[in-house]
Chain A
């Protein structure tokens, strides 16, 4: 017989876990005590705030492709992970969160550090379960990993009562492979495949828009084969980035509010739109009623509730992106659409001249975010894992990073959680120690989870932090400038001396203010694998362009504050 706490660690080891992110406390102490006996098999990363633990686990999971694990105490420990649970839910990230809980006899009595974790997390988790006896531990862990990692992935919460932690059980672990009420992967219907093939074969102006579903399904190669055979240009959502290499000839860049001109404009011109593993977020569609209204839409998704939710579809295919793409590629005719594909280049040329060039090769004036991001891609040759926070830094990182391989872009997409970046970068670096990991973060966002500098210090996590410092909550400032009559309400920020903060944590620091120093500073930044902070003082009132203003169609694009895109 072993304790429930030991059963937890054994079950985690049986699931292949070797790294967990956590923070101890009263109602999880038996689990932490038992951890002492698993030091040879489990690396525990002690974070500085539970929000840091879950974002780190998210970063870890997205780079590794397996669930990240979080262990925290009851009450405030549990409520501190809530933001991350919600974030993982919207962004389909597999994480297993284990929260301590008071003894079963004390449940519902407002006991010290009791919070209704099951009630709190039910609407924002894929599944949750309160473990009330040691005998349930192995079963609950197996089920948690199965649910978190299969189908459309998501967060699972196990609320581990104290009695279950200290109770005794005969340990027997069996992985979960089936739950009768849960169908992780629907089989695509033959009819939907046939209809899709017919549409594709007849298409003259096909366009693919894909999301993170490609990455989650490990379908990067299959997507490429599909696009090549059909000669179909493709645009990526924010979370789809890096699923196609940036230099793939049919790749047209990012779609959405701050996306590239070509795929956004062509969304309004295509005759068949194939959406794969994406969910038509409003940041992607702009005004829904006019989105791709001329096109026949084929939507492929593993989550059938996404199909038809926002955009009415001609054909909905429920299934795993990779498997569906393999079938479609096999059955459809090889096609060529030279004129249609060439049309994208014209849009790109306009964007290049009006937006991209001035952003990444401004020549004079203050440093711009875009040229910093571009510089990082240059130095790392697109091989780094790029992590972003939220705001202008995020959009600039998304727009100007280049990717040589998949699983190279991490960002909080659906929830837009400021503070996500720093801990997520820590998790990413721990998951992929051999790869450079570069965080782009604003001066607002870095201060939301700045305490994780302590984790970097203790674990010597070699993340490269590029602080795009504009002394503003830049993204909100941009909206105030453009849509709120330049009334800058509470967006100006007085910054601390980051050199002192970095020094306090033993993180190498350098500031860059002049263009002529940038390239060399970036060289130095990536010259080793030690933690470092590069504080880049960028233009204070820079705006992210192009921009589809709120309330506009996705093909109504501002190239600058006062210039609309016009078809050539």
Chain B
């Protein structure tokens, strides 16, 4: 067996309907499961970002990445191990307010986990925490005694540790090439 690792796959696409399903299909075809997925805008107009966390042997992940990059409307795809990126997930915890008040030092608990309250009423309180998967899981454990009514975690978002989004360089090069073609 090849060694399995967690990879964060960062996909830059044109804003095209239907691309997301083609991308997730590529994972399915290579029997890789998607652990988390998030999609959104980038600082470049018209360029979208899809970030997928998966686990598998490097060769398989690489093949999947190449298949995705082959799609006409996909601009560029990168994949990283966790040490090459700065990444976060967002977690929300809905906890019964009376239970939470029994805990005594709520302030201390929140500051220990670097979490904050985003909504509070008589029946429930919503706590927010950003962090890595294991960190948000730890807070979940800590809150369990006070009756967690709901716990959700977002997909991962990440930035590379390179100075610039690597896709910038690619797009600049393509702009040059377009000019050349237009001048022909």
Query: In this assembly, does B42 line the interface, its C-beta being within 8 Å of a C-beta of chain A?
Result: no
Query: In this assembly, does A126 line the interface, its C-beta being within 8 Å of a C-beta of chain B?
Result: yes
Query: In this assembly, does B174 line the interface, its C-beta being within 8 Å of a C-beta of chain A?
Result: yes
Within 8 A of A (CB), among B129-184: 171, 174-175, 177-178, 181-182
Contact A123 B69 (CB under 8 A): no
Contacts of A122 in B (CB 8 A): 18, 21-22, 25
Within 8 A of A (CB), among B39-70: 63, 66-67, 69-70
Contact-residue bracket for chain B: 20 to 34
Contact A147 B18 (CB under 8 A): no
Query: In this assembly, does B89 line the interface, its C-beta being within 8 Å of a C-beta of chain A?
Result: no
State how many angstroms separate the Cβ of A178 from the closest Cβ of chain B: 5
Considering the complex, give the chain A residue whose CB is closest to the CB of B47.
A181
Query: Interface SS of chain B: helix, strand, loop or mixed?
Result: helix
Contacts of A123 in B (CB 8 A): 22, 25, 29
Within 8 A of A (CB), among B1-37: 13-14, 17-18, 21-22, 25, 29
Partner of B75, one of A119, A130, A181, A303: A181
Contacts of A119 in B (CB 8 A): 18, 21
Partner of A305, one of B22, B66, B72: B66
Given that A118-B18, A119-B18, A123-B22 are contacting pairs, would A182 and B63 also be in contact in the complex, using a CB cutoff of 8 Å? no
A30-68 interface bits toward B, Cβ cutoff 8 Å, 1 = contact, 0 = none: 000000000000000000000000000000000000000
Partner of B70, one of A128, A178, A305: A305
Query: In this assembly, does B73 line the interface, its C-beta being within 8 Å of a C-beta of chain A?
Result: yes
Query: In this assembly, does A505 line the interface, its C-beta being within 8 Å of a C-beta of chain B?
Result: no
Contact A178 B72 (CB under 8 A): no
State how many angstroms separate the Cβ of B63 from the closest Cβ of chain A: 6
Contact B66 A127 (CB under 8 A): no
A102-135 interface bits toward B, Cβ cutoff 8 Å, 1 = contact, 0 = none: 0000000000000000110011001110100000
State how many angstroms separate the Cβ of B170 from the closest Cβ of chain A: 9
Partner of A178, one of B17, B25, B181: B181
Contact B177 A178 (CB under 8 A): yes
Contact B73 A181 (CB under 8 A): yes
Contact B181 A177 (CB under 8 A): yes
Contacts of B63 in A (CB 8 A): 305, 309
Query: In this assembly, does B74 line the interface, its C-beta being within 8 Å of a C-beta of chain A?
Result: yes
State how many angstroms separate the Cβ of B49 from the closest Cβ of chain A: 14
Partner of B66, one of A118, A130, A182, A304: A304
Query: In this assembly, does A179 line the interface, its C-beta being within 8 Å of a C-beta of chain B?
Result: yes
Contacts of A181 in B (CB 8 A): 13-14, 72-76
Inter-chain CA distance A130–B72, complex, in Å, is 15
State how many angstroms separate the Cβ of A398 from the closest Cβ of chain B: 29
State how many angstroms separate the Cβ of B65 from the closest Cβ of chain A: 9
Contacts of A118 in B (CB 8 A): 18
State how many angstroms separate the Cβ of B103 from the closest Cβ of chain A: 49
Inter-chain CA distance A147–B174, complex, in Å, is 17
Q: Which 7 A-B pairs have the closest CB atoms?
A: A305-B66, A181-B75, A180-B174, A127-B72, A182-B72, A178-B178, A122-B22
Q: Which B residues contact A (CB, under 8 angstroms)?
A: 13-14, 17-18, 21-22, 25, 29, 63, 66-67, 69-70, 72-76, 171, 174-175, 177-178, 181-182
Q: Which A residues contact B (CB, under 8 angstroms)?
A: 118-119, 122-123, 126-128, 130, 147, 177-182, 303-305, 309
22 contacts between A and B (CB under 8 A): A122-B25, A123-B22, A123-B25, A128-B18, A147-B72, A178-B177, A178-B181, A179-B72, A180-B75, A180-B171, A180-B175, A181-B13, A181-B14, A181-B76, A182-B72, A182-B73, A303-B70, A305-B66, A305-B67, A305-B69, A305-B70, A309-B63
